[in-house]
Chain A
Amino acid sequence: GIQVEQSPPDLILQEGANSTLRCNFSDSVNNLQWFHQNPWGQLINLFYIPSGTKQNGRLSATTVATERYSLLYISSSQTTDSGVYFCAVEGYSGGGADGLTFGKGTHLIIQP
């Protein structure tokens, strides 16, 4: 099956800093999503981005499908950004309705 690798695994930053999280995947994808799992365990959709660039406030994401990677940018970090960020993909070979394959996540801690 498709493999998803995220880096870095852990990241500690001061409030106000910017960060870039990376997701590499091993095959062509028809779905790529970024999620934030907050300290209460909720999985929050950030972006649906199988290709291209999107922005939502301080967050933006870029997926270069031909090179099989996606980047999540967080600017002017706030303590509420802390949590685990997951990249998840669905490959074309799955034929649909196979759900997402998740990476192991980046654990982000924003210190005040």
Chain B
Amino acid sequence: DTAVSQTPKYLVTQMGNDKSIKCEQNLGHDTMYWYKQDSKKFLKIMFSYNNKELIINETVPNRFSPKSPDKAHLNLHINSLELGDSAVYFCASSRTGLSDTIYFGEGSWLTVV
């Protein structure tokens, strides 16, 4: 079983559309994250979230929003997609969010045309 799984793996969509990427972890972890990897392979955190607190990277546009129906899921919603949103989005999780190993999903390749 994949510990952190994301769907879809590949997504091609038009500018202006709204899309979601789903993430599920079966590790029983309390904290989940979304990271963005740009075309130069630079990885940057977008959000971290546990049952009590959402921490947002201040550089993330408010068109991006995380939604967590329960502790094992953290979905990423993107409104009004722009060309610059094309990237690989990685979901990740850790047991407590404090000094713990962070495990990554396999990534979702988003292309906006």
Which A residues have a C-beta under 8 Å from some C-beta of B? Answer: 30-31, 33, 35, 37, 41-43, 45, 48, 50, 84, 86, 88, 90, 96-102, 104-105
Contacts and interface: CB of A to CB of B under 8 A. Distances in A.
A97 B101 contact: no
The A interface is mostly helix, strand or loop, or mixed, namely strand
B53 A42 contact: no
Interface string B91-108: 010001111111110110
B66 to A, nearest CB: 12
Given A42-B107, A43-B90, A99 B102 contact: yes
Nearest to A96: B98
Interface of B: 31, 33, 35, 40-45, 48, 50, 53, 55, 88, 90, 92, 96-104, 106-107, 109
Given A43-B107, A84-B41, A100-B45, A30 B102 contact: no
B90 to A, nearest CB: 7
Contacts of B44: 102
Which 9 pairs show the lowest CB-CB distances between chains A and B? A97-B97, A99-B45, A96-B98, A102-B43, A43-B104, A48-B101, A30-B99, A99-B48, A97-B48
